[in-house]
Structure 1
C-alpha cells in the first residue's frame, strides 16, 4: 500500500501540479473507494487539506453526480473523480472547471493501472503527440474512418480539437488520468456510414466479436449482435444515440484491457462515442456518454491519411 501511496503523491504533484495550501477533493463510489483511499492518504501525507466524498455508484458514464458533490467540485482547487463510471462529460465537471478547479477523472482505474501501462508514459511525448493531432483536428473539416471495407464520415468543421494529456497545470484544466488523447465533438447530424468496433466499449469491456455500427445523419440506428444490443440499451432510445466524440489515442504505454479509461488512449486506436458532448463544445445533452474503441483503422482528414494506410 505504501508504494501505491508514493505513486499517488507523485501524480498529485506532477500531473496535477498540486501546490502547498491547495485543497483536494476526492469523489468516489462504493466500487472505487479502495483506490480513492490511496489518494486520500497521499493528500494527507503531502500536508494538503483533503476531503473524501463517496456517492452511490452512477448507472452509466455521463450521469450527473448528486448536487452536494457538484457544489464541492466547484469549490475546490484540485479534484479527482475516482469512480466506476465516468464523470468526464458531465455538466458538473464542466462547471467545476469553469470555476477554476483542476480536475482528473479516473473512471474504472485499477490498482494495476497505478503501476503499469498508461500511467507510466513519457508525458512529454504524450503532450507532443496530443498537440500534433489536435492541430490536425483544428485545421480539418471532414473525417473519414475506414476499416474492413466499412467507412464512416462526419464533419468537425468549426469544432476545436481538445487535448487530454494527463497533465493539468493551470486553473480549469481537466481530463482523464491516465491519459493521452486528442478529441473533438463532431457536428451532431453529420455522421453517416458503417464502422467496425473491435477494441472495447465503455461499460461492456473488450469486444470478443467485432460489432458493426450503422450511423445515419448523426444517429446510431443499428448495432449488430448481442454486444450491439447491450450498447443500444445503454444509450437508450433518445439523445444517447447521437454521435458525440471522435478521439485519437496518443499514449504509447496504454494497453487494451477492457477498461475504456486506458483503452481509448492506446496509440494507433481511435474511438467514437455517442451521447453527451455539450461539456466539450457540442450541443447534445443525453445523461450518457459511451466510447467505442477501434483498432488499427485508416483515418483521413480532408482526404489526407493521418493514421494507418
Structure 2
C-alpha cells in the first residue's frame, strides 16, 4: 500500500477550546498527526492541563516522527504570547486563519494526507480583517475547488447542504437548479467515499410539506424536482423532494444513505440533536480530505480543561477512513 503522509490538524482559535481538544486527543496516543498552528499556544495548553507532553517544532511535515508523548508543530503563524482565553481576539482570528491556509498548502502538495480542523471563530477572523463565513469557504478558495459542499455525518445520518453560510432569505434564491445538481452529485460522491457503493440520496424540500403540491411554494415543482430527475438520468439514486420534517427520521430507519438539505439549519439541527460528540463535518469537492468536529470554539469553557474530545476524535477517524479509501481508489482496489 502507498505510504501515507501524516494528517494535518489545525489548532483552531487559540482563545477557544481548539488547542485543548487537540492536545488532549494527542495525549491519548493519536498517531501520524502534525499540528499546524503555534508552538507557543500548544506549550501553554500542555502546561496548563499538566499533560506531560513535549512540544516539538518541525519545519516540514515530512520531518514528523510521531514520537510517544509528543506534539509536533508546524509554526504556521506568529504568536509571541498566548492570547486571552474565552474572548474575541484579532490575534487569535489571524492565527487560526494562518493555520488553515498553511495546512491547505501542505495538502495540495501531498505533504499531508488530509486536514482535520479544530474550531475557528468567525467574529475573531472578522476582527482581524479576514472576511470568510467559515472553514468551507476558505477551503474552497485556497484549495482551488469550483464547488464544495458540507456533509455532516454521525452514526445515524449523513446530510449534504445545498446552501451553507448565508442568510435564509438569500439561501432561497441561491438554491437554484445548478446548486441542487451540485449538492446531489457531491452527496452521491461523498456516500461512495464512505464505502457505500450506490448511495440512496434523499432530497429534502424547501417549503413545509415539500410545498404540498404548490400550496406552500413551488420551488419543489420548478427547481428541486427537475434537478432530481436530471440526477437520476445521470445514474444517481436520488429521490424526493421529501418533507424536511420527516426525511431524517426515514434516513435513521435505513431508508436513505444521504439527505440533501436546502439550507444550513435544516441539515445541521438533526445531526447536532443526536449528539455533538459523534458528529463530524466533511468537506466534499476538494482534491484532499478535510474533516472537522461538529461544534464551535466554546469560549464559555475555554481554559477550564473540561472540553470533550469526542467529536475531534470522530473527525480524525473519518479522515483516516477517507484517506484509506482514496489510496484504494488510486491503487485500483474497489
Given the two structures, how large is their TM-score scaled by the length of structure 1? 0.29
Structure possessing the higher radius of gyration over alpha carbons? 2
1 or 2, which has the higher strand percentage? 1
TM-score with structure 2 setting the length: 0.27
Q: Larger % of helix: which?
A: 2
Which structure has the higher relative contact order (CA within 8 Å, separation 6+)?
2
